[in-house]
Amino acid sequence: MISGEKILQSGQTKEDKVITSMELTLEEIEKDLLLQYISTYQHLVNILLRYKGNDGVCRISQAELAREVGISPTSISVKLRRLQKVDSCIEKVGRGGAYKVNFSNLLENGPFKKVLAFYDGVYEHPELLALTYKEQAEKLQFSPYEIKMVWGFLNGAYGSPNKLVAD
């Protein structure tokens, strides 16, 4: 099981986690990549919380968020939309760069709880990858929507479903 303890640390960026040993297994490297991917989303939420006003709304431009997180404004825009759409982790307030955080821990209330459960399920039963979304959902007790959401995040983290499990 993947531990989310490091993901929740305030101020962590993808550069904070470095692989230092060439002796890591493929599974450890893949988990490290997934944790880096998730930590970028959590870092974004932590920044929104840090800059929120008394009304609970954070007013910050996507350019400033991009500088704080260390990724492009386009990537920030994509991540903000995903956090709005999936489980309503954040919501856009009014026009411009104003956001309210609904869930501060993305592992407890956000989509990554399902992503990590799926990831662990695939490592225990790699044959799941050969099944349809509907069959994966039944085996893992997810809804079909949750399976599609998980694959969307995994494709973002790895770029291809073929990189999830080694041959």
Closest by Cα among 129, 102, 107, 103 to 117: 107
109 CB contacts (<8 Å, ≥6 apart)?
Answer: 87, 89, 102, 103
Inform me whether the pLDDT recorded for 29 exceeds 70. no
67-100 tens-digit pLDDT: 999 999 999 999 998 888 877 889 999 877 799 9
- As a whole number of Å, the end-to-end CA separation of the chain is 21
The whole-number pLDDT of residue 4 equals 47
The whole-number pLDDT of residue 131 equals 92
Q: Phi/psi of residue 33, each to 5°? A: -60, -40
Inform me whether the pLDDT recorded for 21 exceeds 50. no
141 CB contacts (<8 Å, ≥6 apart)?
Answer: none
Inform me whether the pLDDT recorded for 120 exceeds 80. yes
